[in-house]
Amino acid sequence: MSNRLLKLLFKRFLVLTLGFLAFSTVSQAAPEDMPEAYPQSTLEGTVRIQSSGHLVLFSPVREINNEIRSESLARLPVTGEGRLYRIARDSSREEARDHYLGLLRQRNAQILFECSSIRCGRSNVWANQIFNQAVLYGRDATQDYLVAGTVAEDGSRWLTLVYTVTRGNLREYVWVEHLKVESGATIPGFGIGTSRVEGPIIVPWQGGMTYRFDWQATDRRRVTDLAREEGTVVVLVGYSVLETDESFAESMERARLATESLAEVLSKTGVSRNQQEIIVVGPAGVFSDPDRQGDRVEVIVITR
């Protein structure tokens, strides 16, 4: 076979290969496709989901008198699929979560709610009463959950739920639900205009002269990524608890100093002070939501 013929065959092979890869990438990015599995995981089970009232939570879960309670939940008409994955021992659930967050960003998904650790509620409730997957029962302190919404080209709406957990035996799992929501159903927080406002992201703080912020790495990256868009405003709302031995003015001052300290941290990670707005509420803000208590800064990102 001549060198010229070999070169021609190679070029044709290269074109076909690149075309296939491009097609695969586009297919994986489509909102209607199940998100690609985290590479360092093994599929353990698949469940077909078709329901006129599938339970989806948009806030932390609580169990009161054997009933599921949540500030924001919906029972939606959906069709889709749930998949259970076991994460390899040389990897981690944090890496798996970052994998799915990356895929959702590629699809321009809107994060409707996310939580981590004990802020999500009891792992037992998520495992046995929400997802009906007993193997997901793990430690309350080592779990996280998110729900995101996307819109396909044909106008159909899709929800993706991702829950990760570490069990007592240190095995780690991911549960992924990918659901098409029937037209006309109301999805909390997912509608025209709502995607401009992200948050609040709750950042508890401690300290006095210096401050320590309990802030998830994924939340920090989320704020930084959103702030890259021109015209984005990052609002920092500072709260404090009124201690028994301090005045209202002193409590307000503590909240102000902590909020300004977080603003300085953000400025060093790429969010300029010109993009930031500081609002100090101190002890004057009272909420029933158990996550919105204590000394904290609530971060809200408003895109243009």
Based on the fold, state whether residues 57 and 96 are members of the same structural domain: yes
Final residue belonging to a domain, choices 120, 149, 181:
181
The domain total for the chain is 2
Residue 280: which H helix or E strand, with range?
Answer: strand 276-282
Are 40 and 66 members of one domain?
Answer: yes
* Dist. CA 270–CA 141, nearest whole Å: 30
Torsion of CA 295, 260, 223, 230, to 10 degrees: 150
The verdict on residue 188 lying in a domain is no
> Which CATH number fits the domain that encloses residue 240?
3.30.1330.60
Half-sphere exposure of 198 (CA within 13 A, CB side): 20
Q: Closest Cα partner for 247 from 285, 205, 283, 292?
A: 283
Q: Are 53 and 171 contained in the same domain?
A: yes
With CA atoms as reference, report the closest residue to 128 among 97, 163, 76.
163
| Predicted local distance difference test score (pLDDT) of residue 108 | 82
**What is the rounded average pLDDT for all residues in the chain?**
85
Q: Does residue 98 sit within a domain?
A: yes
Question: Which residues form the domain of 55?
Answer: 35-181
Segment 217-247, tens digit of pLDDT: 777 887 888 888 888 999 999 999 999 999 9
C-alpha–C-alpha distance, residues 266 and 276, integer Å:
9
Domain identity same for 100 and 212: no
Residue 27 counted as domain residue? no
On whether both 99 and 177 belong to a single domain, the answer is yes
Which among 125, 150, 181 is the end of a domain?
181
The answer to the question of residue 41 being in a domain is: yes
pLDDT in the model for residue 25: 39
Q: Is residue 60 part of a domain?
A: yes
Evaluate if residue 8 carries a pLDDT over 90.
no
Residue 147 in this model has a pLDDT that exceeds 60: yes
What value, to the nearest 5°, has the Cα angle with vertex 57 and ends 55 and 62? 105
User: Do 265 and 135 fall within a single domain?
Assistant: no
Residues 159 and 206 in one domain: no
End-to-end CA distance of the chain: 61
Q: Residues with Cβ < 8 Å from 133, sequence gap 6 or more?
A: 45, 82, 84, 127, 175
* Percentage with pLDDT > 70 across the chain: 88
pLDDT at position 71? 82
- How far apart are the C-alpha atoms of 213 and 205, rounded to whole Å? 5
**pTM listed for this prediction:** 0.58
Whether residues 91 and 228 share a domain: the answer is no
Q: Is the model more confident about 18 or about 85? A: 85
Confidence band, pLDDT 50/70/90 cuts, at residue 167: very high
Cα gap 133→136, rounded to integer Å: 6
Residue written as token pair 């990438």: 25
On whether residue 210 sits in a domain, the answer given is yes
Same domain, 176 and 207: no
- Return the pLDDT at 188: 85
Tell me whether residue 162 is in a domain: yes
281, pLDDT greater than 90: yes
150 pLDDT more than 50:
yes
Task: Yes or no: say if 218 and 148 are a contact pair by the CB < 8 Å rule.
Answer: no
Q: Above 50 in pLDDT, residue 194?
A: no
Residue 25 lies in a domain: no
* Lowest-pLDDT range of 15-19, 248-252, 263-267: 15-19
- Rounded-to-integer distance, Cα 253 and Cα 249, Å: 6
- Give the end of a domain, one of 181, 214, 246: 181
* Count of CB atoms situated within 10 Å of the CB of 245: 5
Report residue 195's pLDDT band, with 50, 70 and 90 as the boundaries.
low
Rounded Cα distance, 172 and 197, in Å: 32
Cα→Cα distances 283→73, 148, 252, 271, 291, Å: 28, 32, 7, 27, 15
Query: Are 76 and 176 in a shared domain?
Result: yes
| CA gap 113, 199 in Å, rounded | 8
> Is the per-residue pLDDT at 181 higher than 70?
yes
For residue 276, what are the β-bridge partners? Answer: 234
Please tell me whether residues 175 and 45 are part of one structural domain. yes
Q: Note whether 121 and 198 are same-domain residues.
A: no
Residue 270: count other Cβ atoms within 10 Å of its Cβ.
Answer: 12
